[in-house]
Chains A and B, each alone.
Chain A
Amino acid sequence: MTDLRALRADFPILEREVNGHQLVYLDSAATTQKPQSVLDAMDDYYRFHNANVHRGAHTLAVEATEMYEGARAKVAGFIGAETDQLVFTRGTTTALNYIAYGWGLNHLKAGDKILVTVMEHHANLVPWQLISRYTGAELVYLELNDDLTVDVSSLDQILTDDIAIIAFSGMSNVTGALGPIDVLTDAARSVGAISVLDGAQLVPHTPVDVTELGVDFLAFSAHKMLGPTGIGALWGRAERLEEMEPTEGGGEMINTVDRHSSTWAPVPHKFEAGTPPIAEAVGFGAAVDYLDAVGMDVIAAHEGELTAIALERLSEIPDLTIYGPKDITKRGGAVSFELGDVHPHDIATILDQDGIAVRAGHHCAKPLMKYLNIPATARASFYLYNVPEEVDALVESLHKARKLFGLT
């Protein structure tokens, strides 16, 4: 087992108790905990360097701008990107909306198709539904295999020249299934479509290098990778970002403004209207520094081992059904399950009494829930700070749930 146990000391919240038990945090797919270095970086910014960025000549403004732009360089470097191809957004959701509106509105026409998969998060569905409404484009779906990975066997029939966008997730936040990134980026290229990768669950858990990926756009959120809420990133190929219109207008994003028209600042600033989340950017930079120092390879290996243990231990529990691939090479560390007729919300309440944080619900993936014909699942998800004892705690508490509900 890749032992990252010593890292736990970097996360102050892991020391707290919940309902009389030490916190067992198994909800990192929703948001991750933050290391001291991220908290310190944001605190340092506010204490010593706080000023608005870009416009000022005074010392603090220069420092704040350097910290903000420095964070951009760090986050870009983290995914192997050029700095000026990385746009700060409010998160994955905003990034995907920017692509939908900024690229989709001025490129899609009636009859075009947007191809997505059944396992998408609402963040990668609803913006496309909205854009379809405005443009007359049609949303089409790839279904799933028995192991809940994306079924690409019918791709040949689906792939036609009217497909303009293929938007898909790198990893399902529900089943943990990895997306067929290579297959779908190749498919997009073969019909002249653009490819949009929802990296919310991928970038935090796996080494990602955009120069090797082949996608046109990538979206991810800081808060799912040790950083603060309120910031995320949109990466795009240079030519794609140039083709894209700004979704929001305002300060910071312009070159010149006349009474009736304006010209835009160069990419990436043309997409960053208004005062940006500066402290959050600084925290995002500190988060990728932290991940880099540990090593994404190491993190991926650790999570793989932990997930394998969890899958094995969970499958030993009577009445428990796991929704997602059993093959560890096809999945990440978000593990959804059902326990007999114990409703996921009841599971979450019972586990919470033991200080264990899991998520219950539809996980913002209602079409997937419908496909699985279930209303909700309980989900445990892992990150670098989790340890096997926490899987033990989970299993023990699930046995308690069985007993409370009289399952035998």
Chain B
Amino acid sequence: MTGLDELYREVILDHYRNPRKQGTLSGEHVHAEGSNPSCGDEFFLDVAVTDGVVTDAAMRGQGCSISQASGSMMMDIIVGRTVEDVRDLTHKFKLMMSIEEGDNPVDPERPGSVLGDLEALQGVRKFPVRIKCADLPWATLTDALDQTTA
């Protein structure tokens, strides 16, 4: 596969074109906004947390295929998990994208076993300027979760 084929996997384009959980939450929730001012990508996130569990989430915003797909995949994976679990996922995601120092937690023998669809974003690592696109929803998520524990 060329770098570009690896970057623009089918599953990424699917999430880009059909992003999950678009919109806003109406019940009690926390809200966070993230943006990459240099490129104009924006990400708005509502997260509902009850008893330490993410019960629902909704996203809005606009941006490139990588930031939107990363956000959409994030929505798929976080709902129903404990905040602790979600923080651990965020850590693993950042390791996978080499945003944090440490070994890539993804198991090449069992694709999808650690981070699900999100593992398709590994191709982004070959395009260092785009890593911040993939990270935007996760940085916003961390902001949101920090409000729940504050």
Whether A345 sits at the interface, judged by CB under 8 Å, is: yes
Query: What residues on B are CB-neighbors of A405 within 8 Å?
Result: 8, 13, 65
Query: What residues on B are CB-neighbors of A366 within 8 Å?
Result: 40
Does A346 lie within 8 Å of B8, measured CB to CB?
yes
Does A362 lie within 8 Å of B4, measured CB to CB?
no
In B104-148, the 8 Å CB interface with A consists of 127, 129-130, 133
Does B64 lie within 8 Å of A345, measured CB to CB?
yes
Whether B23 sits at the interface, judged by CB under 8 Å, is: no
Query: What residues on B are CB-neighbors of A344 within 8 Å?
Result: 64
Whether A341 sits at the interface, judged by CB under 8 Å, is: yes
Query: What residues on A are CB-neighbors of B38 within 8 Å?
Result: 361
From the candidates B5, B40, B42, B127, name the one contacting A349 in the complex (CB within 8 A): B127
Does B40 lie within 8 Å of A346, measured CB to CB?
no
CB closest residue in chain B, given A369:
B40
From the candidates A341, A353, A360, name the one contacting B3 in the complex (CB within 8 A): A353
From the candidates A341, A369, A376, name the one contacting B39 in the complex (CB within 8 A): A376
Does B130 lie within 8 Å of A361, measured CB to CB?
no
The answer to whether A361 and B8 touch (CB under 8 A), given A349-B130, A375-B62, is no
For the complex, give the distance between the alpha carbons of A376 and B38 in Å. 11
From the candidates B13, B40, B127, B129, name the one contacting A376 in the complex (CB within 8 A): B40
Query: What residues on B are CB-neighbors of A375 within 8 Å?
Result: 40-42, 62-63
For the complex, give the distance between the alpha carbons of A405 and B65 in Å. 10
Q: Give, as a whole number of angstroms, the nearest-CB distance from A365 to chain B.
A: 11
Q: Give, as a whole number of angstroms, the nearest-CB distance from A92 to chain B.
A: 19
Query: What residues on A are CB-neighbors of B2 within 8 Å?
Result: 353
Q: Give, as a whole number of angstroms, the nearest-CB distance from B148 to chain A.
A: 30
Q: Give, as a whole number of angstroms, the nearest-CB distance from B39 to chain A.
A: 5
Does B4 lie within 8 Å of A350, measured CB to CB?
yes
Does A349 lie within 8 Å of B7, measured CB to CB?
yes
Query: What residues on B are CB-neighbors of A376 within 8 Å?
Result: 39-40
For the complex, give the distance between the alpha carbons of A375 and B36 in Å. 12
For the complex, give the distance between the alpha carbons of A51 and B130 in Å. 43
For the complex, give the distance between the alpha carbons of A353 and B130 in Å. 13
In A122-177, the 8 Å CB interface with B consists of none
In A304-361, the 8 Å CB interface with B consists of 341-346, 349-350, 353, 360-361
Interface centre among A353, A366, A375, A405, by most chain B C-beta atoms within 10 angstroms, is A375
Total interface residues on A, CB under 8 Å, equals 19
CB closest residue in chain A, given B3:
A353
Does A343 lie within 8 Å of B4, measured CB to CB?
no
Q: Give, as a whole number of angstroms, the nearest-CB distance from A377 to chain B.
A: 10
The answer to whether A343 and B40 touch (CB under 8 A), given A349-B130, A353-B4, is no
For the complex, give the distance between the alpha carbons of A111 and B127 in Å. 51
Query: What residues on A are CB-neighbors of B39 within 8 Å?
Result: 345, 360-361, 376
CB closest residue in chain B, given A404:
B8
For the complex, give the distance between the alpha carbons of A254 and B42 in Å. 47
The answer to whether A343 and B8 touch (CB under 8 A), given A349-B127, A361-B40, A376-B39, is no
For the complex, give the distance between the alpha carbons of A343 and B133 in Å. 12
Does A345 lie within 8 Å of B13, measured CB to CB?
no
Q: Give, as a whole number of angstroms, the nearest-CB distance from B52 to chain A.
A: 36
From the candidates A346, A353, A369, A406, name the one contacting B64 in the complex (CB within 8 A): A346
In B1-45, the 8 Å CB interface with A consists of 2-5, 7-8, 13, 17, 38-42
Does B13 lie within 8 Å of A406, measured CB to CB?
yes
Query: What residues on A are CB-neighbors of B7 within 8 Å?
Result: 349
From the candidates A345, A404, A406, name the one contacting B4 in the complex (CB within 8 A): A404
For the complex, give the distance between the alpha carbons of A361 and B39 in Å. 5
From the candidates B3, B5, B42, B64, name the one contacting A343 in the complex (CB within 8 A): B64
Does A346 lie within 8 Å of B62, measured CB to CB?
no
Bits for A364-388, please: 1 = Cβ < 8 Å to B, else 0: 0010010000011000000000000
Does A343 lie within 8 Å of B65, measured CB to CB?
yes
Q: Give, as a whole number of angstroms, the nearest-CB distance from B47 to chain A.
A: 24
Query: What residues on A are CB-neighbors of B42 within 8 Å?
Result: 375
CB closest residue in chain B, given A19:
B3
For the complex, give the distance between the alpha carbons of A361 and B38 in Å. 8
For the complex, give the distance between the alpha carbons of A346 and B17 in Å. 14
Q: Give, as a whole number of angstroms, the nearest-CB distance from A354 to chain B.
A: 10
For the complex, give the distance between the alpha carbons of A360 and B133 in Å. 14
Interface centre among A342, A349, A375, A376, by most chain B C-beta atoms within 10 angstroms, is A349
For the complex, give the distance between the alpha carbons of A344 and B65 in Å. 10
CB closest residue in chain A, given B130:
A349
Interface centre among B39, B66, B127, by most chain A C-beta atoms within 10 angstroms, is B39
CB closest residue in chain B, given A354:
B4
Interface centre among A346, A361, A362, A404, by most chain B C-beta atoms within 10 angstroms, is A346
Kindly list the 3 A-B residue pairs having the minimum CB-CB distance in the complex, ordered from nearest.
Answer: A343-B64, A345-B64, A362-B40
Q: Provide a sorted-by-A list of 9 A–B residue pairs whose CB atoms are within 8 angstroms.
A: A346-B65, A349-B129, A349-B130, A353-B2, A366-B40, A375-B40, A375-B63, A404-B8, A405-B13
Apart from A341-B17, A360-B39, A361-B40, list 8 A-B contacts with CB within 8 A: A343-B64, A345-B63, A345-B133, A353-B3, A375-B40, A404-B5, A405-B8, A405-B65
